[in-house]
Amino acid sequence: MMNRFSLSRRTALCSLGAAALVPQALQARAQVARPMQATAKLVRYSDSSERPVTIEVLLRGKGPLIILLPSLGRGAADFDDLAGRIAAAGYRTAAINPRGIGGSQGPKAPTFAETAGDVREVIRALQSGQSVAKPVVLVGHAYGNRLARAVATWHPDAVSGLILLASGGQVAIPPAIAKALRDVFDPALPPEAHIAAVRTAFFAPGNDPEVWREGWYGAVALEQQSAFRELSPQAWTGGGQISMYIIQAAQDLLAAPANAEVLRSAYPDRVEVAFLQNAGHAMLPEQPERLAELILSRLAAMTRPAKPGHS
């Protein structure tokens, strides 16, 4: 259930993000995006053990399909603003709720591979009826960036490109920030202490953390962490052979900018990095217009959007 009080103290591994300059036309497209209501779709399938799985997807717009994967223990609603901006620019966005959030449900404690399989099944369902199923772009935030890389590794036929927001894990988290992250998931923490921890761990100085006071799904986060830790990062970290565009928040203390540089050094032919100023690990609610501009600049090269304004 949607409550920050459902998770015991636990250090969560999150990731990084970034920013650069884009054409003025793209800036205008990102800024004029109007609020767009989502349509919920339930994707149902049976896993390899014939157990039923239901994944809820929030859909907006028409055009090339863009899959949005949320952060650790958080849901598709985090993408509401960004998804509307992308959809208004001529794309079909699909923000996925992990199992245990919204209408998504299935066997408990899915493996990382099974979670990646959920994403693959959503892509397949949304492309049903098409004469040719085209690979799609995955946009993953924090934990979602790791999942995006796993999907690209294990289902390369389904993915044409990766846009990774807060892609980390290579650089240690400072002790004080790690404590703030543990406090975010502490069910005994008073509300004001909780929002202070959210501010410290997720938001750049001066940015308002109130927008993320709620939306913490503790039980989901525990399952995600458990599945994630069972695998060596080498099994998925390179994202197969797919190109990666990393947007790194300059003030991210959970996933410091150096994390993106590690990935760029490891895969110089496939990784580009942009830096987003005045943003921390939350990123999405901190710099929504600039983030959309950066993403749209890359999507234009990855896909051919439909005519803006069609939804």
DSSP 8-state class, residue 98: P
Closest Cα partner for 263 from 251, 276, 277, 248? 248
Structure tokens given for 11: 């250090």
Owner of token pair 């690209």: 152
- Say if CB 230 and CB 111 are below 8 A apart: yes
What is the spatial distance between Cα 78 and Cα 244, in angstroms, rounded to a whole number? 22
pLDDT at residue 188, rounded to an integer: 87
Beta bridge partners of 92: 65
Q: Are 6 and 218 in contact (CB under 8 A)?
A: yes
| pLDDT at position 303 | 83
Structure tokens at 43: 């994707």
Which CATH number among 3.40.50.1820, 3.20.20.150, 3.40.50.300, 1.10.490.10 corresponds to the domain 4-302?
A: 3.40.50.1820
| DSSP code string of 22-86 | --HHHHHHHHSPPP---EEEEEEEE-TTS-EEEEEEEEE-SSSEEEEEPPTT--GGGGHHHHHHH
Secondary element (H or E) of residue 263: helix 258-266
- Gap between the Cα atoms of 144 and 167, Å rounded: 9
**Residues in contact with 265: Cβ distance below 8 Å, sequence separation at least 6, in sequence order:** none
pLDDT of res. 201: 97
Give the tokens for residue 164: 């990774």
User: In the chain, where are the structural domains located?
Assistant: 4-302
User: What CA–CA distance (Å, rounded) separates 91 from 303?
Assistant: 9
The rounded distance, in Å, linking the Cα atoms of 163 and 301 is 12
CA distance 282 to 254: 10
pLDDT at 31: 47
Q: Which residue has the tokens 């892509």?
A: 123
Which mean pLDDT values do the consecutive 10-residue runs of the chain (311 residues) have?
Answer: 42 35 43 73 94 97 97 96 97 97 94 96 93 92 96 97 92 91 86 97 97 91 90 91 97 95 96 97 98 96 66 45
Those residues with Cβ within 8 angstroms of residue 169's Cβ, 6 or more apart along the chain or in another chain: 13, 15, 146, 233, 237, 255, 259
pTM for the whole structure: 0.87
Q: Which stretches of the chain are DSSP H helices? A: 24-31, 80-88, 112-126, 143-154, 175-184, 191-202, 218-229, 258-266, 288-302
Q: How far is it, in rounded angstroms, from Cα 39 to Cα 60?
A: 7
CA distances to 125, 126, 133, 279 from 130, in Å? 10, 9, 6, 39
Task: Map tokens 């901190």 to a residue.
Answer: 286
**Tokens matching residue 124:** 């397949």
Task: Determine how many CB atoms are found less than 10 A away from the CB of residue 214.
Answer: 10
